[in-house]
Amino acid sequence: MTDINHHEIDMHWMRLALEEAAKGKGCVEPNPMVGCVVVRDGRLITKGYHRYFGGPHAEVEALQSIVDPNATIYVTLEPCSHFGKTPPCAPLVVSKKPNRVVVAMLDPFPVVAGRGIAVLREQGIEVTTGILESEARELNAPYLKLLKTGKPWTIAKWAMTLDGAIATATGDSKWISNELSRASVHQLRSDLDGVIVGIQTVLEDDPLLTARLPGNSKPHRIATRVVLDHRGRLPLDSKLVQSIPTAPLWVIVADHCPIAKREALERLGASVFAMPTDYQHDSLTFALEELGRVRATNVLIEGGGAVLGSAFDRNLVDQVECYIAPKIFGGDAKRPVMGTGLKRVQDASLWRIESTRLHGDDLHMTMRRREPI
């Protein structure tokens, strides 16, 4: 067998391991998604993935029933070598006496960071790394960003018309997108740790910002709703406040927010965060940093235009979910992204279209930044 064929075979099985890993999306965070495939004599023996936070890792899923030695094990992330919520995986891999272990990428988590690979090699196991590494890194980009920056992967979402409007000149916005698009947004929310919105959007729309799924389906995660509300204008009878028993609510306020309002919100179950003075004009960054401290991995910014503009002005957005409806508003209709904006075309950040989907007549585009933060 040539080296080229060997490499192609490794890529084939690693793609399958990555497909397995992706099944854990929304369930394993803040842990990374990991998939594992076991192959012997060119034949799939078993496969597994990390199913939920605190549950068995992918290697345990795939290896617990394996007794035959001399297999090749493909895993999308370096096996851990430390005790966390579960025992380390590297010793389990060693105990199965594989002929070879193929790893897509090393785990940058400080207590792993190459130690798992070292454990395998110390036991005389051949280890190959870097197979489909870029794909593995893209799959776990939110996990990697949280480790690197302390802030969650940030997704900007809006629905707009063909001429780029999110509301008419009078502020009417229900509904721009169709029911299928709105169902897609609820599915998106069900995989997230947080949803951020500005106070003006709350005052105009009185949203719930929860994930409502069809039938008896339950969301993978209950996102924390976060309202940027410098002056404490959030009504106590709003849907966000009244639904606190079903989903957490954070309110980010400035130092001039009345103390009585803060206390009233807290009595009703909201968590109120008073920004330090140096964040008074950047509540969004403050909110993201606080979410990062509780290890929120994926966060959605739902608007409005001022908040989304602030996010893009400050280079805080990693991914865009844009829903385009076949409608034209014209006139002085409101735009999805405001803020300071750019003076020169050449300063615009570049985005890569990851997928396009049709929801009836609506076009749904998912984009990622070409150069990750």
Contact 75, 101 (CB under 8 A): yes
Of 139, 147, 144, 186, the residue nearest 23 (C-alpha): 139
Strand partners, 368: 319, 352
Residues in the chain: 373
Contact 275, 285 (CB under 8 A): no
Choose, from 29, 59, 290, 321, the residue flagged as catalytic: 59
* Pair type for strands 298-303 and 194-198: parallel
Of 81, 72, 64, 69, the residue nearest 126 (C-alpha): 72
Residue 162: both structure tokens together: 């063909």
Helix intervals (H) in 23-85: 58-63
Contact 312, 306 (CB under 8 A): no
DSSP H/E element including 104: strand 100-105
- Angle at which helices 305-313 and 283-293 pack, to 10 degrees? 80
29 is catalytic: no
Residues 6+ apart with CB under 8 A from 117: 78, 79, 103, 106, 127, 129
* Pair type for strands 35-40 and 72-77: antiparallel
| Whole-angstrom distance, CA of residue 14 vs CA of residue 146 | 24
214 burial type by CB count under 10 A (0-12 exposed, 13-18 middle, 19+ buried): exposed
| Whole-angstrom distance, CA of residue 364 vs CA of residue 370 | 19
Contact 235, 241 (CB under 8 A): yes
Q: Looking at the annotation, which residues are catalytic?
A: 59
